Every structure is written in structure tokens, then in C-alpha cells.
Structure 1
Amino acid sequence: MSITATDSTSRHPAIRSTTLFWGAALAGLVVLFVVASQFPVLDDPRREFLLPFARWISDGMDFLVDDLSFGLFTFEDLTRAIAFVLSLPLLALTSLLASGWTLPFSEIEVAPLPWFAVVAAMVFMGWRIGGGKLAALMFASFAYLAIFDQWQSAMITLSSVLVAVPIGIVFGLGLGILAYKHSGSERVISPLLDLMQTVPVFAYLLPVLVLFGFGQVSAMIATIIYAMPPMVRVTIVALRSVPGDLLEFGDMAGCTARQMLWRIELPAARDSLMVGVNQVVMLSLNMVIIASMIGAGGLGRDVLTSLKRLAIGDALEAGVAITLLAIAIDRLSQAFANRARMKRPKRSQDRTRVPLSTPAGFVAILLIGALITALAPSLAIYPRALVLDTGPFWDELIRLINVHLYDTLDAIKAFLLIWVMIPLKRLLVEAPWMAVAAGVALIGWRLSGLRLAATLFAMAAFIAFTGNWEKAMISVYLCGTSVVIACLIGIPIGVWSAASARARGVISVVIDTLQTLPSFVYLIPVVMLFQVGDFSAMIAIVLYALAPAVRYTDHGLRQVPGETIEAATMAGCTPAQILWRVKLPLATPHIMLGVNQTIMMALSMLVITALVGTSDLGQEVYIALTRANVGMGIVAGLCVAFLAMTADRLIGAWAAERRRRLHLA
């Protein structure tokens, strides 16, 4: 008892100190709020002084396109040449899978590979690499494309992905190796990666469009930029994780730096590198709808046109096609990585069991299919009479929901708008930027020191002095509300998943679907149920950003050491006490990382929700794209990136402090 009393007493000065600090800080912010409202430059810089970053960037882009010359060719000629080189493999794959081609010096037209041959070849590859379950998945995924009339568009999308993914992997691997070998390069590359991952995709669609022209190649380049950063980061981490004894062995064997890299470090890091490969594949497929806005075509264009027509059935069918394509490629790449880890004797046994090698069998099936369709061209196309259409079902479902649940849904919408969303929006929009920036900087200083505080204040000042403060606060209100609701839903689901293996199996399937379903797809049913506006945008963001809150909560709770739980049980704690006083406190750092990822996904959804009537930074980026205003788009994109980086830095600093207090770091 005396020990407890001593500990409690020893904590009182710290508690009082913290209380006094935040009380004084709050009072200071209130005073700053009142003072700043009297001075335009501290309240809203648009009245007094703005930095013309957007005009400078637009002028720089005009100089690159119109005036920069290298003597024999201009900068525009260089970018168009790069586009032409990249178009060659893309044209070849598109012709092979989707459009067919005409033989040179003749008028003979060659049909693309038939649907049944591609399905059979993918089933064969799945069986050879991953067994019967993977073969069944390949069949279900690719047969769906044919049965629901998504084949042509899916093959166009697949052609683009098959070109973009290897390029993204090679460049990502190269930059990762460069950063690993040279610390100076890493200091330059890391901030660029932060920007590439947090700037909205729409912001760099426009410069890519200006430099490389409209079409599939520009869309593919934008996809590479979007999908490459995880490969760079994974490469750096993987190479640094190579065991030291392997490096010592290489040194003792007399390996040169190049031999050390290619014969020891990269092979040892292969498993981790496959995670990066997987991320490149998934992000490339996640990009297909946005890329369709600058000419990508394929499934992305189908979803986009369905969204404009509010055709929920067509959009869902195309969205599910993207999801199945992503899952199929993801599982195939994972199975390939697992097979590469198998021992050589086992592989040799497989070869004796099935004499035909996987590449040879794959090509043979495609050739046989091509020969069959050459003799019977009608077999190349899936029969129209067997095509399924779920559009009427989904349209009728939405109609029934509107008829029977409209009053309930409208009441929920009105309550959240009147009592939560609109008051929060007014508070943030009317607050002077200096007071908000000072408050954020103060929190950063308290968590991690002066450097973080200065960084956060500088990012806030950039947003204010480029004239985007009001739209940034609308973005904060919209994303903040969405993140809170997503966490209130996702964290309890994560707790349930961690407590029940049966529930985890069902929840994992739902979360996988939510993460692979294209972001545009969420807008269609939401708009049809709630019309356009902030509430519809909020619901779409919640659905899109829900998954990390569930996953990280589940992971964090299952990472709590078993001996800690046993000790709590022996101490007589009930299951509820173990959850609230042991598991959740120890899992808090993981849960906060999930909150961080939820914020990142919410911000990435901002530009998409601009299509349903929001007036935030996302709308600013979208307007810049429609007006071909490069500077406006990039500046608004940087503002979104700075909001994301602010949240990331604050939550990261808090999580690190929490780990130190719990002695987890």
C-alpha cells in the first residue's frame, strides 16, 4: 500500500505540470485567436498578401514545353520520344490481348488471343505455381470478365498494367539501391517519396498530360509515378535487414561491391522485395480509373462513364472486374514468391510429376487457342447470349432502399449535418490561420521538439499564403469527421476480429474487398441514396478509409504478449478488464498507426469526392485539371500533401512517445 501511495504522490507534480502547461497554452491560443482576427495577414492572408506559387509553376511548365531547347531537339521532343518508346510494348500487348493487328505488307487481320485460351492459360499457371485453390481463383476471376462482358476492357487494362508494373519495379528497385548505398541520396529521395505518396494523383495528372500528351502512355506514366514509391521504401528496408553474418561472409569471400549486391544482398532480401512488387501491382490497378481521365481506357473508363450516367450496376460490374483482376495478380505473385522459396529437390520432383514446364505450357495453351480461333473465328468472342447483366438488380435494390428507408436515412443525414458537420466546418473556417497553426506547432513541440514544431508551422504558412487556407480547413473538417466515424466503426470491428477466429475470416474477406474495390465505385450508391454534397462525400470516405482501422486494431491486439495476458488472468482480471486495461493500452501504438493510415486514405479520397459537390482542396485540384492549370493543381496538391504530412508527423511522434512509456521501443 505504501508503494502505491508513493507512486501516486510522485506522479502528482507531473500531472499538475502538464495541466498547467495546457491550460496556459489554451489561454494563449484564445488571446491569439482574438488578436489575429483584428489583423488581416494573421486572419486571412488573401486580403493582404499572397505568394504566387501557382503562377510561378505554370510559367515554369510553359518554359519547359515551349522554350527549353537542347540544340537539335526541344524538351517537348524529348518527352514525346519517351512516350513513343513506352508506347511500343503497350501497343504490342494491347494488340495481342484486346484489339488484334494487321500483318505487315498485307491486309490480313489477326484476331487477339481468344478468351478461353487466356482463361485456360491462367488456370494452368495458377495450378502449376499454387495448386488447385489458386487455379480455381484464376478460373473464377478471368471467367467473370467474359461472363459479365468485361473482357475487352479488362484486357486493355491488363496490357497497361503488364507494362507499367515491370517499369515501376525496375525504377523503384534502382532508386532504393541508390538510397541504400548513398545516405545523401536517401535524404533527397525520402522527401520526394513523401510528396509522391501524399500529393493527390490528379495534381500530377496535368503535368504528365502536358508533357506526354493525351492517351494510354500518359496514363501509364502517371500510374508508374503513383505505384513506384512503395517499391523504393521496401527496397531500402529490405537491404538494411540483410543479416550481418551474410555480409561478413561476402567480405571474407572477397566479393566486390557489385557482387555483394547482386549475389548476396538482393537474393537475401528477395522475400521482402516481393512485398514491394505486390504493392506496385495493387497500386497500378487502383490507378486505372483515375488514369482513364487522361486516356487510359479499359475498365477505368467503363467505371467513369457509368458514374456519369449513375448506372450503378454497370459501375459495380466493372469495379468488381478490377477487384478480381487485382486479387488474381496479387495471389499469383505471392504464390510465385512462395514457390521461389521452395527447395530445389522439391521443384525437381514437381518437374518429374508434370514434364511440361510452366512457361512452355502457358505459351502452348495460348498457341492452341489461337489456332482454334483461326479455324473457327466465332469462338474467339464469348457468346452474347450467355452474357449476364446485374444492372437491373442493383437499380431495383437502390429504388427499394429509397422507397422504404428514405425517412430514416434523411433523419440521420440531417442530424449529422446540423449538429456535427456544419458547426465543425464553421469553427475551422472562421478560425484565424495563425491561431490554428500555432496550436498545431505547439502540439508538435510538446511531442517531439522545436524541429517538428517549425516544420508544421511552415507547412501551415504555405497553405495560408497560397490562398488555400479556407479550402484546407474544409478538407480538415470533412476528413476529420470521416476519420472519427471510420474509427468508431472500425476499431470495434477490429476488436471483434482479434477475439474471434471465425469472425476474422469473414471480416478479412470484407476488408479485402473494400481495399481493392476502386474508390470511384463508392460514390455511385452513396449519391443515389443521399444526393450530392458533403454528407455523401463523408459516407464515401468512411467506406474507403475503414479498412486500416480494422486491420491495425486486429493486428495490435493479437501482438499483445501471451504472458502479459496470463499474468492479468492470474491476477483475477475479468475478460472486460483484460481488454480495457491490458490489451487496448498495449495495442494503442498499432491502433494509432491504423488511424494514421485511415487519415491518409481519407485525404487521398478528397479529389474523388469533388465529383459529388464538395468545395475543398480536392475540388481545387479537380478544377485545375479541367482548366489545364498546372500551377493551381500542383499547389493545391501540395496543400493536401502538407495536411497528410502534418497528421503523419503528429501521430508518429505520439506513437513513438507511447511506445517509450510502455517500454515497447
Structure 2
Amino acid sequence: MSMTRGAWAALVTLIVGVFCLSFESQLAWLIKWPAAWVFPVHDWISSGLGLVLGWFKPLARGLSWLLSIPMDGVGWILGETPWPIIIAAVTALGWRLGGWKMAALGAVGFGFVLVSGYWAQSMRTLALVFVSVPLALLMGMAIGILAYENPRLKSAVNVVLDVMQTVPTFAYLTPLLFLFGFGPVVGLVASAIYAAPPMARNTLLGLERVEHDIREAAIMSGGTRRQQLFLVEIPAAATQIMVGVNQSLMAALSMVIIAAVIGGFDDIGWEVLLTMRKAWFGQAFLAGSVIVVFAIVIDRMSGALATQRKQYDAKVAYGLMALGVVAAFVLRVDPADIHWMDGIAASVDASVGSFTSSNGAALDSIKNNAMFYGLLPLRIGLDQAVLPFTWGFMWQPAYSLYVFAGAGILAGLIALRGNLAAGVMVAIAAIILETGVADLPWAFVLVGLAALGWTSGGLKLARLVVILLLAIMLAGLWERALLSLYLSGASVFACAVIGGLLGLWASVSRMAWAILRPMCDLLQTIPLFVFLIPVLMFFQIGEFSAFLAICMYAIVPMIRYTRHGLVTTPPDMVEAATASGATTWQMLREVRAPYAAPSILLGLNQTILYAFSMLVIAALIGTTGLGQSIYLALGQADIGLGISAGAAMAMLALIADRLVQGFAEKRRAALGL
């Protein structure tokens, strides 16, 4: 039997794991990273960055004052403008972009905001978005143009954008808080930073896709390089750039609650945060619904700008605006006096209370079973999780031998069938399950991930994996990193299984996709924080609630990419399989699934990144690990801990991203794509 690279990697990992467990008592330094090998990275970052930021602090405070002027101005305009005019303006814009359907969406959406009783807070949120998004668009477009005009900088710019998108938002809030001080402006700056990368990527992508003939025509016209860029190439790339505008708007809106954590701004984000902390789930649900409505309206309208659609009659838009002005004079009702949905919030509280009291035992059973028989064994291993209180018996050392022996027999049978790598992976899975992710030997994890990197992308990727993991260990964050890996890994596995099955269902049933598609669209427009509200309603604070919130947010890419890969199989391949007499199941297994593998891996990649993004937000409801460290650092204004923990989280996400991308590229090459 020839040994593939994957088989060698798995075998080396297994040997290291067996060695570590066999000599656990004699070589304890192979199990737990020694404290003597930890450097005071937190202190170095705190002192060094604190000194550097101290130099820029006066400039930042001056910039904070300057930024507060447009923010206060926009907030005043939105706050003082009568609500009928604002609703009419949104309705008119919707008409121009998408006709009566888009107009109705704008009118109904902002009408809901009005009757929710959160009109003033919502206008402050819009002020934050209206000021932060132009900053993000300017920064993003400048970065994209810079990378396009200087190809040597492209790789460096991509690395910077990767870091900006993988570093958790809470991590860079700490230095921003130090620079700009407590208040709404720091939330404004954080939103602009978070929303800039999508614009930069789409600007670069759009410019690179400009047709060669258009560039040649611009050159032959005799224009300067600046004229070619701004008068020809950027307009030609406008469609892709508008996609960046759409994504930047959604990114900025998703930051409103996170900004409220440090902004202390009486906006809708602060209302969600405050009501969640007080366990007023009805009000939290109502305020969260306002953010979802904003997200849907902004997503649909900005998305319409990214497509070449006709603009509807401007006269109708002017008529709607005139109707709004007339209504403003006739309907002199203060929006603060409109609380039509308070009863709904109270009804939600009563319904949730009644449901949880009536079904408390069932809900507790779901949560406890998932924790005791799923999450807990994965975190601390069967040898510690199996107790008389939960499993009805005490785990004995002999049971570990039974697990390893059973796994060894199964691994041997799989290897004899010709798949040595899969067989060895079964034995590795047994080690992980018996030991627990949080207690895995660092040498085993280091060698295992490096071997996986070697299999995926060669020595270069393996070297990157080793460097990044050693950096986490030297910073003293290894145990917290393992806890983050455990929860994100469990969530990604659940999303991969459930999302993959749903994507498969959607690929073979049009009715299934008709049901799943709007649900996926809705989940992708909901800001991260809002996912915490429903899980808190029914399962309270805890690790299981965090697990559910991560799964709800991260499952959509797996569904979409699985379905897309399965339904885009080339027709000639399908015809050839049909002519050979393949059944539907054989067609799916032998033709569609292998061809869809790159797309499914891309969905897995996105799911992993989504899980890491949500992991930090979930720290608010009971998770441990790096996310909790980042959140605590924000509350303590500990720049060193915030930056180092955030960097560690970004390193883990970067490792996962590169590993999956490597396997996807190998699969594309095998398919000749």
C-alpha cells in the first residue's frame, strides 16, 4: 500500500499523540506548556503600545472633537426632521430603486420603527451609520486603488485586510478607547474600521476585472494615468464597487451594538444591550427587531444600487416627498408619544415566561443532555466528563483502554480496505474524545496542525502554522486558545453536518430551497448581537446558549455553498452519468458531490470565519477562552491583554482559513478548474 502525504501526516500525528499520553507523568512539559517558557507579552504590548498611543492621544482627541461635529449635526438633522418626511424620503428612494415593492418595504420598515417607540434611538443609530460609512468607503476605496496601482503592495494589503477582518472587533476597541476616550465617537471610528475592508476588496476586484479593451481605449485617448483611472476604469468597475458599498453598510450596521458597549450612546444598540442585561426579553426582542428591519431595508436598497436596474419615474418620488411634507404639518405627533408596540413587548415577556415555566423541564433536558453528553466530553474528555451524576457510572482507567482498543480495531479495518489516512484519523479522534480538546498535549496539537498544513499547502503552510501556534504559546494564551478551539470546532462541526444536509435537501427539492432561501437571507442580514436574544430567552446564560448563537450565525454559508456546488455540476457530466444508467443517489455521490467539493470547502471556510467572529460576541453570555479574555480586557482597558488575545484569535482563524483554502485549491486542481 503506497503512503500518501495525508497518511504520513496522520501517522506522525498519531505517534506523537501516543507518545505524549504514554509518558504523561514523566514528561509533563509535553502536556502543559511550561510557565517558564511564557514571555510577558501582555506587559510588553501594554507598555510599548501605551507609550506610542500616548504620543498620538492629543491628535486623536482633536480628531474625536472634529468627528463629533458631523455626527452631532447629522444626529440633530435626523432628530429634528419630522418623522413623516423621513418615512416619505425612504419610501421615495425605494420607489426610485425598485418600484412599488421597494417603496412598500421602506414605508412598512420605517413605519415599524416609528410604532416601536424607538424612533429617537433609531435616528441616532442612523447618524452613526451615515457618518461612519462615508469614512469607511473613502478608506476602503483608497486602499483598493493603492493595491491596484502598486502590484507590489497587493499581497501586503491583502494581509492587512485579512488581519482587519479576522481580529475580533472587541480587540481593537481597547486601543481605540484609550485614544479617543469613552463616547459615541470611538464607536464611529470602530464602525469605520470594521466596514472598510469589504469596500477595499471589492474596489480592487472591480478594477482588476475591467476589460483589457477598455483600458487600451483609455490609453489611446491620450489621457493621463489619473484621468484613465477616475474617468474610465473606476466607472467601468462601478457595479462591483457598489457591491462593496452594500457590504460596508451592512458591516457598519452590525457594529452598532458593539459600539454601544463602549459608546454609552443612547441609540438602538444601547437599548438592545441594556434590555438584555436586565433580562427584559420583550423589549430586547423589539429593539433587536428594529435593527433587523434597518438591516433588511438598507441591504435591499443598497443591493439595488449594485445592480443595473431601471430607475422608476422621479415624479412619483417627488409626489411621495410632497405627501410627506403635508403629513408633517397635519400630523403633529411627537414620536416619543407613540408606543403602540409596548403591549407586544409585554406579551412577548409573558409568553416567554409562560412557555419556559410550562416547558422548563424539557428545555433544561435539551440543554443538559447537549452539555453532559456532547459539549462537556468534547471539552474535558470522557475520562473527566463521565460521572455517576450524569452518566450513571464512574469512568475507570480500563474504559480508556477499551476506547483505544475499539478505535484501533476500527482503524485497522478501514486501513485494510485501502484508506490508511482515514483509519489513522479514527485513532486520532479517539485520543481527542478520551482526553478532551481543552486538555490535549500542546506537542500533539502543534504536530497535528503542522502535519495538516503540510498536507494542505506544503512546507510553507506548515511553517506558518508552527510559527503562529508558538506565538500563542509564548504569550501564555494556549489554554484559552484550546477552549476557543473547542467551542468553535463543535459549532463548525454542527454547522457542517446540519448545513450540509440542508444544502443537499435544497439541491434536490425546489420547495426546500423556496423555504430555506428567505430564511438564509434573513439570517445573513441580522447583526451578530441580535442572535443572542432568542437563545437567552429560552436557555439563559451559558455555554450551550453561546453554542446555539454561533451555529445560527455560521450555518448559512454551509447551506448556500453546498447547494450551489451540487446544482452547478456541468450538464455534460450529468448527461454522461445519466446515459450510463446512474441512479439519483449514484449521480449525487459519484458525480455531483466530487465536483461540488471546492464549493463546499469554501462554505466550510466561511463557516469557520463566521464562528470565530461570533465567538467573541458570545463571550457576553457565558463562554470562556480567548473571547472572554478580549471582553474582560475591554472592561479593564487592558490594551496588552486585548491586543494579544485578539491577535491569538486572529491567528487561529488564519490557520483554519489557510488550511481549508489549501484543500480547496488541491481539489480544484484535481478537477482541472
TM-score w.r.t. length of structure 2: 0.87
Q: 1:572 to 1:605 in 2, by over 3 A?
A: same
For 1:571, give the aligned amino acid.
S
Show CA shifts across 1:300-348 (max 9, x none). 0011011101111111111111111111112212223435x65xxxx7x
Q: 1:20 to 1:637 in 2, by over 3 A?
A: closer
Q: 1:633 to 1:25 in 2, by over 3 A?
A: closer
Structure 1 residue 522: Cα displacement:
2.6
Aligned to 2:52: 64
Give secondary structure in 1 for the equivalent of 2:46. helix
Structure 1 residue 42: Cα displacement:
4.2
1:51 equivalent among 34, 39, 46: 39
1:90 equivalent among 41, 46, 71: 71
For 1:23, give the aligned amino acid.
L
Aligned to 2:377: 423
Q: Is the 8 A contact 2:243 2:306 kept in 1?
A: no
Are 1:392 and 2:350 an aligned pair? no
Matches within 5 A, 1:638-653: 638-653=647-662
1:499 equivalent among 498, 501, 508: 508
Q: Is the 8 A contact 2:84 2:324 kept in 1?
A: no
Q: Is the 8 A contact 1:41 1:48 kept in 2?
A: no
Q: Is the 8 A contact 2:32 2:442 kept in 1?
A: yes
Q: Which moved more, 1:46-55 or 1:134-143?
A: 46-55
CA distance in 2, matches of 1:404, 1:595: 38
Aligned to 2:589: 580
Aligned to 2:402: none
Show CA shifts across 1:484-512 (max 9, x none). 11222211212222333333233122122
Are 1:590 and 2:571 an aligned pair? no
Give secondary structure in 1 for the equivalent of 2:284. helix
Q: 1:448 to 1:284 in 2, by over 3 A?
A: same
Q: Which moved more, 1:254-263 or 1:206-215?
A: 254-263
CA distance in 1, matches of 2:216, 2:53: 51
Structure 1 residue 24: Cα displacement:
4.5
Give secondary structure in 2 for the equivalent of 1:467. coil
Structure 1 residue 624: Cα displacement:
0.5
Q: Which moved more, 1:608-617 or 1:306-315?
A: 608-617
Are 1:244 and 2:212 an aligned pair? yes
Q: Which moved more, 1:149-158 or 1:400-409?
A: 400-409
Structure 1 residue 423: Cα displacement:
2.2
Q: 1:446 to 1:399 in 2, by over 3 A?
A: same
Structure 1 residue 38: Cα displacement:
4.6
CA distance in 2, matches of 1:36, 1:191: 39
Are 1:624 and 2:633 an aligned pair? yes
Structure 1 residue 547: Cα displacement:
1.2
Are 1:323 and 2:292 an aligned pair? yes
Aligned to 1:299: 268
CA distance in 2, matches of 1:216, 1:46: 43
CA distance in 2, matches of 1:166, 1:496: 41
Q: 1:24 to 1:56 in 2, by over 3 A?
A: closer
Matches within 5 A, 1:513-592: 513-592=522-601
Aligned to 2:175: 207
CA distance in 1, matches of 2:361, 2:341: 37
Q: Is the 8 A contact 2:85 2:321 kept in 1?
A: no
Matches within 5 A, 1:154-553: 154-295=122-263, 296-338=265-307, 342=310, 354-355=314-315, 372=329, 378-381=332-335, 383-384=337-338, 386-426=340-380, 427-553=436-562
Show CA shifts across 1:63-83 (max 9, x none). 1354x3xxxxxx222111111
Show CA shifts across 1:589-629 (max 9, x none). 11111111111111111222222222211110111111110
Q: 1:459 to 1:159 in 2, by over 3 A?
A: same
For 1:54, give the aligned amino acid.
H
Q: Is the 8 A contact 1:234 1:273 kept in 2?
A: yes
Aligned to 1:114: 82
Q: 1:80 to 1:432 in 2, by over 3 A?
A: same
Q: Is the 8 A contact 2:612 2:653 kept in 1?
A: yes
Give secondary structure in 1 for the equivalent of 2:307. helix
Structure 1 residue 279: Cα displacement:
0.6
Show CA shifts across 1:457-478 (max 9, x none). 1111111111111111111111
Q: 1:36 to 1:451 in 2, by over 3 A?
A: farther
Structure 1 residue 36: Cα displacement:
7.6
Q: Is the 8 A contact 1:40 1:48 kept in 2?
A: no
Aligned to 2:431: none
Give secondary structure in 1 for the equivalent of 2:68. helix
Structure 1 residue 383: Cα displacement:
4.8
CA distance in 1, matches of 2:642, 2:26: 31
2:91 equivalent among 104, 116, 123: 123
CA distance in 1, matches of 2:52, 2:542: 39
CA distance in 2, matches of 1:65, 1:583: 54
For 1:647, give the aligned amino acid.
A
Structure 1 residue 222: Cα displacement:
0.3
CA distance in 1, matches of 2:305, 2:614: 32
Show CA shifts across 1:429-480 (max 9, x none). 2222122111101111122111100101111111111111111111111111
CA distance in 1, matches of 2:140, 2:109: 29
Give secondary structure in 2 for the equivalent of 1:573. coil
Q: 1:18 to 1:445 in 2, by over 3 A?
A: closer
Aligned to 1:4: none
CA distance in 2, matches of 1:440, 1:33: 18
CA distance in 2, matches of 1:270, 1:82: 31
Q: 1:89 to 1:203 in 2, by over 3 A?
A: same
Aligned to 1:80: 61
Show CA shifts across 1:203-239 (max 9, x none). 1111111101111111010001111111111111111
Q: 1:26 to 1:96 in 2, by over 3 A?
A: same
Structure 1 runs of 4+ aligned residues shifted over 6 Å read 360-363
CA distance in 1, matches of 2:226, 2:458: 41
Q: Is the 8 A contact 2:117 2:340 kept in 1?
A: no
Structure 1 residue 527: Cα displacement:
3.0
Q: Is the 8 A contact 1:200 1:604 kept in 2?
A: yes
Q: Is the 8 A contact 1:115 1:382 kept in 2?
A: no
Aligned to 2:671: 662
Structure 1 residue 180: Cα displacement:
1.0
Structure 1 residue 13: Cα displacement:
3.6
- State percent identity of aligned pairs: 39
Q: Which moved more, 1:179-188 or 1:448-457?
A: 179-188
Q: Is the 8 A contact 1:36 1:435 kept in 2?
A: no
Q: Is the 8 A contact 1:515 1:544 kept in 2?
A: yes
CA distance in 1, matches of 2:26, 2:619: 33
Structure 1 residue 260: Cα displacement:
1.4
Unaligned runs of 5+ in 2: 381-435
CA distance in 2, matches of 1:279, 1:484: 27
Unaligned runs of 5+ in 1: 1-11, 69-74, 99-111
Q: Is the 8 A contact 1:121 1:362 kept in 2?
A: yes
CA distance in 2, matches of 1:97, 1:301: 18
Structure 1 residue 174: Cα displacement:
0.5
Q: Is the 8 A contact 2:40 2:475 kept in 1?
A: yes
Q: Is the 8 A contact 1:113 1:380 kept in 2?
A: no
Q: Is the 8 A contact 1:216 1:297 kept in 2?
A: no
Show CA shifts across 1:266-308 (max 9, x none). 1111111111111100011111110001114311001101110
Q: Which moved more, 1:400-409 or 1:214-223?
A: 400-409
Give secondary structure in 2 for the equivalent of 1:390. helix
CA distance in 2, matches of 1:182, 1:389: 59
